[in-house]
Amino acid sequence: MSQTGVRQSASFRPTPVRDGDDRFVELAARVGTQCAPRSAEHDRENTFVTENYGLLRESGYLRLPVPTELGGLGASLRQICYAQAELARHCASTALAVNMHLYLTVVNVFRWRHGVANAEGPLRRIASEGIVLMTSGASDGIYPSGKAEKVNGGFRVTGRKAFCSQAPVANVFATSAVYEDPEIGRTILSLSVPMSAEGVEVVPTWDTMGMRATSSHDVQMTNVQVGEAQVTGRRPWGQVDPSLRTALVHFSPLVSSVYYGVAAGARDEAVRLVGGRRRGDGQPIAEDSTIQRQIGLIEHKLRTAWWVLLGALDELGDEYAPDERAVNLVQTAKRYVMDQAVDVVDLAMEAVGGSSYFRRSPLERAYRDVRAAKFHPFPAEKSLLYSGRLALDLPVDKVW
């Protein structure tokens, strides 16, 4: 019970539906509790959550998806969603930044399980060395930036990539470059580049409204030597291939869970504040029917959003192929979860009132952080276009 006699609800966490769904939630909560006290400072000063990565490495969180036989914790896609939702309740930037490492790791697990030989090495290094994977995925769709020139033993790569989250601590950069192949024409090379390689430079460009502590800076590559062994794949220029769909199928559920966690944290803050305040006449604010409805709507949106995400994962199944149907499935869920997350934070601020508008309020920070949801692929309108074209049996590749 609160001081006012109004019973306050416990923290909002997704209810496990299957045995083991929440197996790693306690780990995420333990790490998140240690990260939380620094969240406001990192946001205010626009600095990276470096200390938090020490915790992520020491706790084993970085190797969450790596199969146990390769030295990891063996978490499923579904279990990582539960864990990431919990971590984001405590520190949104930490959860979003490490999400880029986790989804790349999950992609490598998928490739490894399907017999791709070069996927095992990174997984073993994550487990044994705690290396951090970084992607330039937001810069590299069907028309990526960067050019590769053939040289003895490999390629020379030059290009600038944006939105490279966790740039200050990343060890390996998963990126792409265009190569004019003399035999088959313009080709996109998928590359694995050490961040320590000569010619790789982090350009500090990240000064944003929200998710400020992810340090999603630009990375400039200038005449970087890339060996043949560092070319992890080739795909046609201007076309969607299984590797792109594989990335999106694994990225979408995980990033959805991060923003869900931001919204769940906002709900907890609103319930805490509403339950502990009185009006000028001495009556508990929680007795206001308008506020009760707002909190009820928050509960509704959080529950249905998680059900949608779990429903998508259930329909995806365990033996899925990265086809157009799978992309549509996870993107439909992502759009819904993101929309509900934004609504929940807005409602939480309305329920609390003007104090939530101050910079010192965790709700003000959540308001800014949750809006980054709109800028991950696909944007909301593009996901609808994809669904519509697929339903009408029209080509969807150009939606990318």
| Nearest Cα to Cα of residue 81 among 393, 314, 399 | 314
Mean pLDDT confidence for 67-89:
98
Sort strands 172-181 and 147-151 into parallel, antiparallel or unpaired: parallel
Q: For 257-285, write each residue's pLDDT tens digit.
A: 999 999 999 999 999 999 988 888 888 98
Round to whole Å and give the CA distance between 192 and 138: 16
For residue 48, is pLDDT > 60? yes
Q: What is the DSSP string of 120-176?
A: HHHHHHHHHH---EEE-GGG-SSS---EEEEETTEEEEEEEEEEETTTTT-SEEEEE
C-alpha distances in angstroms, 400 versus 214, 239, 320, 334, 381?
A: 25, 9, 21, 16, 12
Q: In this prediction, what percent of the chain has a pLDDT beyond 90?
A: 92
pLDDT at residue 255 tops 90: yes
The dihedral built from the CA positions of residue 6, 11, 13 and 19, taken in this order, carries a sign that is negative
Alpha-carbon distance values, 25 to 13, 79, 87, 153 (Å): 9, 8, 8, 45
Closest residue by Cα to residue 52 from 19, 75, 28, 80: 28
Return the structure tokens found at 147. Answer: 């050019």
Statement: residue 2 has pLDDT above 60: no
**Sorting pLDDT into bands at 50, 70 and 90, what band is 1?**
very low
pLDDT at residue 3 in the model: 45
Question: Which residues, 6 or more positions from 150, have their beta carbon under 8 angstroms from its beta carbon?
Answer: 179
Weakest mean pLDDT among 126-130, 223-227, 238-242, 309-313: 238-242
What does the DSSP assignment read for 170-239? -SEEEEEEEEEETTTEEEEEEEEEETTSTTEEEE-----SS-GGG--EEEEEEEEEEEGGGEEEEEETTS
3-class DSSP assignment, residue 284: strand
Q: Which residues of 363-388 are buried (b: 16+ CB within 10 A; e: fewer)?
A: bbbbbbbbbbbeebbbeeeebebbbe
- Please report how the helices 362-370 and 242-275 are oriented relative to each other, as an axis angle in degrees rounded to 10: 160
pLDDT category of residue 400 using cuts at 50, 70 and 90: confident
Residues 6 or more apart whose Cβ sits within 8 Å of residue 71 = 63, 124, 127, 128
Q: Is it the case that residue 4 has pLDDT exceeding 80?
A: no
* Predicted structure pTM score: 0.95
Predicted confidence (pLDDT) per residue in 107-126, tens digit: 999 999 999 999 999 999 99
Cα–Cα distance list, 192 to 136, 182, 225, 237, 277 (Å): 11, 23, 11, 18, 54
User: For all residues of the chain together, what is the average pLDDT?
Assistant: 95
Residue 5: predicted pLDDT: 47
276-332 residue pLDDT tens: 888 888 889 899 999 999 999 999 999 999 999 999 999 999 999 999 999 999 999
Supply the Cα-derived Rg of the chain in whole angstroms. Answer: 22
CA 303 to chain centre: 20
Is residue 197 scored above 90 in pLDDT? yes
State the average pLDDT over residues 137-148.
89
Q: How many CB atoms sit inside 10 A of residue 171's CB?
A: 18
Residue 103's pLDDT is 98
CA-based nearest residue to 371, from 259, 269, 248 = 259
Res 8: pLDDT: 52
Distance in Å from the first CA to the final CA of the chain: 51
pLDDT at 137: 81
Query: Using one digit for the tens of pLDDT, what is the confidence trace for 155-186?
Result: 999 999 999 999 999 999 999 999 999 999 99
368 contacts: CB under 8 Å, gap ≥ 6: 209, 210, 211
Ordered domains of the chain (ranges, CATH): 25-132 (1.10.540.10), 135-236 (2.40.110.10), 242-399 (1.20.140.10)
**Interval 357-375: pLDDT, tens:** 999 999 999 999 999 999 9
